[in-house]
Amino acid sequence: MNQVEYLEPSLAQVIERIGTDYVTVVAAPNGVDVPISGPAIHDPLSAAPPKPGAMVLLVGLAPETPGAARTIRRLTGAAAAVMRSDAADAAPLAEAAAEAGVALIALRVAMSWSHLHTLLEDAVLLGDSLVAAPSRDLGSVPAGDLNALVNAIAETLDRPAAIVDTQWRLLAYSAVPGQANDDLQRDVILSRTVPARNAPQETRRLLLTSHRALRFRTGPPYDDDEHRIWRIGAGIRGGPEPLGMLWVLEGDEQLSADKLVLVEEFARLAAAHLLRVRRARTLDRERRGELVGQALDGRDPRTACHRLGLDPGAGIAVLAVAELVAGDVPLGEHLLDAVATYLDAYRRSSACVLRGDTVYCLMPAQDLAALREVASDLTRRLGLRRRLAAGVGGRVGADDLPRSRRQADLALAVLRASGATVATIDEVRAAATLVELRSLLDDHPDLLLHEADPALRDAEESVLAWIECHGDVRAAARRVGVHPNTLRYRIRRLAGNGLDLTDPGTRLVTWLRLRLRDGEPGSSAQA
């Protein structure tokens, strides 16, 4: 059996995957073979050091920004820093990068930071996935390495190539020196998707139902064909399942018939790689899910958080997401996919796991109000067909994550009882306390004398109104709909039977008994 190992990609491999047309090494005091642990976004408001081996994206920082050199000097421990700039303009910061021991990378084009973040995550995911021995490589390309595959295709055909998924979203593109992309190819690379005008449904249907490589003319939407360029497309399928499309920029000089057959073979090879990527992502999600569960259960939570890329000493909160009203068919993995995709799409640093019908997410929480806004936006965007609720636990250190998870569960229980969709534990603490009491009474039914005497059972509504109106007989009588003298008589009769409501302890126990008798403590949140 082939041995496998977990690997982190080197800076050189990451740059190769992004493409030297887009990024340039300005300074590399430790060389370009340093491992990259993942992307990180520089936050000037955070004093926390960067994650070891991180590639830090200096969003909003330019070479001429005051304090730019000082910021780079503080990145000790990171592997590299990326700045949007020309290499020549960033060169004066090379000395600061050398002092910090980090490589300085110039992002030379208008690629969005979110796009670059996604490319880096994909590069690290593939580097951290199971890499087989050379005999297990697919077409002399490491299994699952889509960028290496399209580079090999581009070199073989001497044409730029790209792979998109079934929804025209870019998965990988070639970056072979000397091969020029046209405007459409550059737009796709920068926006991570094929423009709608160049992605007709009929083309998609033809490619995903055909086993042949097909030729298309693409380009700007001119009335004539003067500026249109030939492209070769081939559908990628894993058995009967459509996985994506392989596109080759043919240009003015058409490929020969034998090269078209080769494109079809490359499409079949790409299917194996795409399935490998899917498996790698599944393994990565399972691994991260196990670490989240370990942290939620309090089993070496500091190590788990560190391996998840979360600072164990900083504030972390648990976000619990579930259906507001459970459906006949639980959402299960679909809910986990939706929540994880949302958090990834909006660059929310998090780690999620599904337990029962609830998705639990570990979230950095410098500000619970900001985290509440994330939860509110999540439920609004994802709860279009089946309403979702999200409870936010307290901000804690790694060792107290089980407590934050319990608080998130309590907030979720209150939301389900009230019909609201989002709350932090601080917003519903009174109602959450009653949920805890209800649970305690279910386990210890004799703590409160649930079997009240007949006199109390006959006067429950009146007693509850009198207590909650703080002894105001007229207000309580109006609430119950009786004459004040009638209410006074009922209270005196209970006192004669030994239930003295003038005693604070008796009032408290009686109120709890009546409030919790129906098992709906969430309804008392306003009491």
**What tokens appear for 254 in the block?**
């058409």
3-class DSSP state of 181: coil
- Which of 361, 392, 427 terminates a domain? The answer is 427
Domain assignment present for 291: no
Quickly tell me which residue has 């002894």 as its tokens.
Answer: 471
Write out 25-91 in H/E/C secondary structure: EEECCCCCCCECCEEEECCCCCCCCCCCCEEEECCCCCCCCCCHHHHHHCCECECEEEEECCHHHHH
**80 and 187 share a domain?**
no
C-alpha 175/C-alpha 147 separation (Å) is 8
Kindly state whether residues 56 and 172 are assigned to the same domain: no
**Half-sphere exposure of 431 toward its Cβ, with a 13 Å CA cutoff?**
26
Number of helices followed by number of strands (H, E) in the chain? 19, 15
Q: In this structure, are 228 and 314 located in the same domain?
A: no
The model's confidence at residue 411, banded by pLDDT at 50, 70 and 90, is very high
Give helix 113-128 / helix 11-18 axis angle, nearest 10°: 130
Asked if residue 202 and residue 83 are part of one domain, the reply reads: no
Instruction: Assess whether 319 and 370 both reside in one domain.
Output: yes
Same domain (yes/no): 47, 70: yes
What was the pLDDT predicted at 305? 87
Identify the H or E element spanning 355.
Answer: strand 351-355
DSSP state of 385: S
- Say whether both 24 and 123 belong to one domain: yes
**Looking at residue 523, what is its pLDDT?**
43
Q: What is the mean pLDDT of residues 409-438?
A: 87
pLDDT of 469 > 90? The answer is: no
Question: Is residue 526 over pLDDT 70?
Answer: no
Strands 54-57 and 80-84 come out as: parallel
The total of structural domains in the chain comes to 4
Residue 284 lies in a domain: no
pLDDT tens for 343-402 read: 876 556 678 888 888 999 998 887 788 888 889 988 888 876 678 999 999 999 889 999
Of 395, 427, 459, the residue that ends a domain is 427
Query: Same domain, yes or no, for 142 and 88?
Result: no
Give the helix/strand (H/E) hosting 247: strand 241-251
Ranges of H-type helices in 144-296: 146-157, 183-191, 201-209, 257-296
CATH classification of the domain holding 92: 3.40.1390
**Tokens of residue 460, six digits:** 């429950």
Range of the domain at 17: 11-128
Give the per-residue pLDDT at 51.
Answer: 77
- Does some domain include residue 296? no
